[in-house]
Amino acid sequence: MKSIAWVGSAKKDLQQNFSSEARKEAGYQIYRIQMGLDPKDWKPMPGVGLGVREIRIHVENEYRILYVAGFEEALFILHAFVKKTQKTSRRDIELAKERFGLIMKEKQS
């Protein structure tokens, strides 16, 4: 089973901003990824980085988790947030991009 590496405040954001039911669903979807399966509802996010995907959770609100699982050592959770509009906000995209960049920089050193 692949280990989880939470980047920045992603874990805290999930714990504080997701409802109890959304946290439960998030845990299940993350477990699926750890086991080498796809989440039930996801889409690629190439604008954030190569291999970055978005888990979509539809419980009371719309919840999103941006992650990258293509690295052997861990599943990196980049960002977790409540989606309030049809389009993902520029702030959420930029934050995930920045965190993805940190991972890539660390891998190069």
Q: Where are the domains of the chain?
A: 4-108
- Domain 4-108: assigned CATH number: 3.30.2310.20
For the chain, what is the mean pLDDT?
95
Residue 64: pLDDT above 80? yes
| Rounded average pLDDT over 52-68 | 97
Residue 109: pLDDT above 80? no
For residue 69, the 8-state DSSP code is: -
Phi-psi region of 97 (alpha: psi -120 to 50; beta: other; left: phi over 0): alpha
Question: What's the rounded Cα separation, in Å, for the pair 96 and 30?
Answer: 17
Residue 16: pLDDT above 90? yes
Taking only the tens place, the pLDDT of each residue in 82-100 is 998 889 999 999 999 999 9
Residue 21: pLDDT above 90? yes
The confidence score (pLDDT) of residue 107 equals 79
Please enumerate, as own/partner, the contacts of 45-48 that have beta carbons within 8 Å and a separation of 24 or more. Answer: 45/93, 45/96, 47/93, 47/97, 48/78, 48/93, 48/96, 48/97, 48/100
Residues 6+ apart with CB under 8 A from 24: none
Residue 76: pLDDT above 90? yes
| Rounded average pLDDT over 8-29 | 98
Closest by CA position to 63, among listed 100, 108, 13, 97: 13
Whole-structure pTM value: 0.95
